[in-house]
Structure 1
Amino acid sequence: MTDLIHRPRRLRNPPALRAMFEETTLSLNDLVLPIFVEEELDDYKAIDAMPGVMRIPEKQLAREIETYRKCWHSFRYDLRHFSPY
């Protein structure tokens, strides 16, 4: 491989491209909490393929979100995003 005298940076000049190629950083604020909800469920049900993860009855959804929010807040973070499935 040859040594480059001039590094090709022309693709990094526009801000949109620079943002696309920048290093990836991940923080707790970037995470989304998946919540698995089932309408006709009366009690929590384990998901066999995902140990430790439960399907939540629709009636309990608001309570679960509040529980998660309090937990995140105790770590000084806000629960900004959740995604019901």
Structure 2
Amino acid sequence: MTDLIQRPRRLRKSPALRAMFEETTLSLNDLVLPIFVEEEIDDYKAVEAMPGVMRIPEKHLAREIERIANAGIRSVMNFWHLSPYR
């Protein structure tokens, strides 16, 4: 086998070529933030199974989504905790 004097970098010569051949990219546009909402609570409530995660009162949902959007996250997925006695 011969030793290479110069490594072939033809796929890395320009930003356009690098973008065309890159395998994986991840940006804020690819993220979806899960939020947990509960109907009949007045204040934020911890989710016992997930430390650091809170259930959001339904009345605060619009404010939380606005705060999340201002942080640059464009997608959320709501998980509702509904009262069984509706």
TM-score by length of 1: 0.60
Aligned to 1:23: 23
Q: Which amino acid aligns with 2:23?
A: E
Once residues 25 and 69 of structure 2 are traced to their aligned partners in structure 1, the CA distance between those partners, rounded to angstroms, is 23
Q: Which amino acid aligns with 2:78?
A: P
- Pick closer, same or farther for the CA change 1:71–1:80 going to 2, 3 Å: closer
Aligned to 2:33: 33
**Number of equivalenced pairs:** 58
1:58: how far off? Answer: 0.3
Residue 71 of structure 2: SS of its match in structure 1? helix
Once residues 31 and 37 of structure 1 are traced to their aligned partners in structure 2, the CA distance between those partners, rounded to angstroms, is 19
The structure with the largest alpha-carbon Rg is 2
Once residues 39 and 55 of structure 2 are traced to their aligned partners in structure 1, the CA distance between those partners, rounded to angstroms, is 10
Residue 84 of structure 1: SS of its match in structure 2? strand
Structure that is richer in helix per residue: 1
Q: Where does the alignment leave 5 or more consecutive residues of structure 2 unmatched?
A: 1-21, 80-86
Aligned to 1:52: 52
1:51: how far off? Answer: 1.2
Post-superposition CA distance 1:18-62 (Å, at most 9, x none)? xxxx93432221000111001111110011111111000000000
CA RMSD of aligned residues (A): 1.6
1:71: how far off? Answer: 2.1
Residue 69 of structure 2: SS of its match in structure 1? helix
Q: Which amino acid aligns with 2:57?
A: P
